[in-house]
Amino acid sequence: MIEIVRLALEEDLGAGDVTSRACVPESQQAGGRFIAREPLVIAGLPLLHELYEAPVILKRDGDSCADGDAIATVSGRARTLLERERVALNFLQRLSGVATLARRFADAVAGTGCRVLDTRKTTPGLRALEKAAAAAGGVTNHRMGLFDAVLIKNNHIAAAGGVRNAIERTRASGLPIQVEVRTREELREALDAGAAHLLLDNLTPAEAAQWVREIGGRAKVELSGGITLENVRAYAETGADFVSSGAITHSARAMDISFRLELA
């Protein structure tokens, strides 16, 4: 059992499910169905294998579900099914919320040639799961953490003594390098230093389009800051290669999924 599932069960169960122990016979067998209660994009289904013995998975992560669709079925001791119901739903509802919002972002930029990226603005401890859900929804995963790509931001630039210094000092890492630029002067300095991937933050779509024209294909461009579902297409149409939005993970709402128990 993966650690995050074990921790979730320990948090919920504690010394045991006193309600189920009190009113459900120990030998009672049952089945259960997970059902979508609104249109959604499902994610988190592999976790059911960590919670139940031989679940029957009826959908795949990334599948669209209609209201009333069965997602998966499980069977076993009724007490066990009841003990694990809330943990299973918490994971499915949360991760499906991320996948559903990600799909809406991906659909919003369709045809522009621009890709939507997620960010590190994730629930502590759930990053790998939330990023998998974002990918299932159709967006592209950005770096997983501080360890797998270089992203030089404004505070790094200040600490390094300038854009060029920061870029030159990170080349030896051998990792992909991206640098955030906030002024035209920093932009020119980054391009002169050979930056291949730029992050432009907190520009309007009109400003971003001007900067993208000035860059002229000399570097890949990502736009971030204040990008929402309502304005993401305007940013994508600036000619940028990527747009990123933390909302995909930090502001996704839990989707409505229910569990129905049936006695064997």
**Annotated active-site positions, please?**
86, 121, 153, 180, 201
**What is residue 191's three-state secondary structure?**
helix
The answer to whether 257 touches 32, Cβ cutoff 8 Å, is no
| DSSP-assigned states of every residue in 79-98 | HHHHHHHHHHHHHHHHHHHH
Crossing angle between the packed helical segments 184-192 and 205-215, to the nearest 10 degrees: 30
Radius of gyration of the chain (CA): 23
Dihedral of CA atoms 64, 241, 231, 180 in degrees, nearest 10, equals 120
Contact between 132 and 102 under an 8 Å Cβ cutoff? The reply is: no
Buried/exposed 181-214: b ≥16 CB within 10 Å, e otherwise: bbeeebbebbbebebebbbbbebebeebbebbee
Could you tell me if 120 and 245 are in contact, meaning their C-beta atoms sit under 8 angstroms apart?
no
Residues 6+ apart with CB under 8 A from 191: 198, 215, 218, 219
